[in-house]
Amino acid sequence: MSGHFSDISGKKEHVKITSEPKPGFLERLSETSGGMLIGLSAFCLSFYLLFTNEGRALKTATSLDEGLSLVVSLDNIFSMSQQNEGKLVHLSGALKTSKPLFDPSYGLSIRAVKLKRQVEMYQWVEYEDSKEYEENGEVKKETRYSYNTEWKSEVVNSRNFDREIGHKNPSAMAVESFTAIAPDVQVGSFFLSKGLIEKIDSFKQMSLSKLEDPHADITRRGDYFYHSENPGRPEVGDLRVSFFYAGLSGDKSHLGPADMVTVIARQRGDQLVLYQTKSGDSLQILYPGDLSAEEVFQKEHESNTMKTWGLRAAGWLAMFVGINLMTRILYTLVDWFPVVRDLVNIGLKAFAFCIATSLSLLTISVGWFFYRPLWALLIGLLSAVPIVIARSRVPPKKHQ
């Protein structure tokens, strides 16, 4: 591989041009064969994804229906009835934590379930834009590199830049990000399990307007603490720190009242823990706000539906890409003739679309067969539609 290098605007932006001989027929055929193996893997994976997704979706839906039929709504969240021991219960109430969360480095405390310190560093970031073209029997690649300074929460490794000189970043941050979590979180008299606490993740940025600068070398501006001599014109390596909280709790503060949540889980003494359904799934649900049991399970059904369709789309796409890669060899065999090449390319994509759609629907119907035979039959009939349409477009053969 040979290369040509030229600058077009100093160290902020430059262009690199690399060239290599145009690959021959045997080389292109070898690359296509490798793509066929990847395509075969994607093709097989799509069947597994589509089939298991249907079983997962139906099991989740059945578990949610089972949970709704068994759930007991608690009228008083400050008393524990032995009659509900081991049962699936529903309750709504304000969050409560035993102690405030602190960040002594910045003189900050808050009564909340979670407190997150987010540290960002002013760093160089490289952007790359490439295009390929043929010239004098060679394949050339023109890559334009540009550099900009931005606030980033992760260290950008400038050693991977095409040109590190003039765009060097520090290798680490002097201050680290972290998230503090309250050890005990209650709703009424009940303590939330670790799994329920993890679901409290709607973070809001804290206002720092009422706080003083914690140190002489730290400046507060807006809702950020800056480790910088001039926050208005930061330099590479400068830091800024912001804070976020989730699950405001305890008595009323300047941030507002404690957050309300709705929980559906198993009562075990004074704890709310995972509930295992007979259908196979476990239930441990938490939503912000004051919701009825019916509203909670409706939201869970909607979430299950969205996940199901998302995985169906991913399975179909994996199958479509897999078929494309496996049939790519036919395109390679005729790519020397432009007109035939374009027609073959269109035909292969149409073929992959029809086959992927049909096989995806068939796989889904097989997944449903064990649970809902009538629906499986209907989907099986629909799977034949693309093939019927494709065959109807083929002109009939002339009989001698």
Report pLDDT digits (tens) over 349-370: 888 899 899 999 888 888 777 6
Q: Are residues 189 and 333 in the same domain?
A: no
Confidence (pLDDT) at 241: 95
Q: What is the pLDDT of residue 133?
A: 67
Give yes or no: residues 145 and 227 share one domain. yes
The answer to whether position 158 is within a domain reads: yes
Of 247, 263, 279, the one marking the end of a domain is: 263
The answer to whether residue 24 scores a pLDDT higher than 70 is no
Higher pLDDT, 42 or 337: 42
| Same domain for 256 and 386 | no
Average pLDDT of span 371-396: 68
Q: 174: Cβ–Cβ under 8 A, 6 or more apart, which residues?
A: 227, 239
- Is 320 part of a structural domain of the chain? yes
**196 & 258 share domain:** yes
Asked if 13 contacts 145 with a C-beta cutoff of 8 angstroms, the reply is yes
122: pLDDT strictly greater than 60: yes
Q: Check: CB of residue 158 under 8 Å from CB of residue 147.
A: no
pLDDT of residue 328: 75
Residue 281 in any domain: the answer is: no
> Lowest-confidence range among 133-142, 173-182, 292-301?
133-142
Least confident of 117-121, 195-199, 352-356: 352-356
Are 109 and 258 members of one domain?
yes
The answer on 226 and 338 residing in a single domain is no
Residue 321 belongs to domain spanning: 21-61+304-392
**Number of folded domains that form the chain:** 2
For residue 34, what pLDDT band results from cuts at 50, 70 and 90? low
Pairing of strands 108-110, 185-187: unpaired
Asked if residue 60 has pLDDT above 70, the reply is yes
Residue 321 is assigned to a structural domain of this protein: yes
Domain assignment present for 8: no
Tell me: pLDDT of 5 over 50: no
Judge if 242 and 370 occupy the same domain.
no
Q: How confident is the model at residue 20 (pLDDT cuts 50, 70, 90)?
A: low
Same domain, 153 and 222: yes
- The model's confidence at residue 256, banded by pLDDT at 50, 70 and 90, is confident
Last residue of a domain, one of 200, 233, 263: 263
313 and 221 together in one domain: no
Chosen domain end from 239, 263, 287? 263
Residue 240 token pair: 């800024």
- Average pLDDT along the chain: 84
pLDDT of res. 80: 83
Judge if 209 and 317 occupy the same domain: no
Q: Is 206 part of a structural domain of the chain?
A: yes
Between the alpha carbon of residue 344 and those of residues 183, 317, 332, the distances in Å are 63, 21, 10
Question: Does residue 318 fall inside a structural domain?
Answer: yes
pLDDT tier at 266 (50, 70, 90 boundaries)?
A: very high
- Tell me the pLDDT band of 343, cut-offs 50, 70 and 90: confident
Whether the predicted pLDDT of 371 surpasses 60: yes
Residue with the larger pLDDT of the pair 329 and 150: 150
pLDDT band at 15 (very low <50, low <70, confident <90, very high): confident
Residues 245 and 381 in one domain: no
The answer on 101 and 54 residing in a single domain is no
Q: Of the segments 16-20, 80-84, 304-308, 396-400, which one has the largest average pLDDT value?
A: 304-308
Tell me if 6 is assigned to some domain. Answer: no
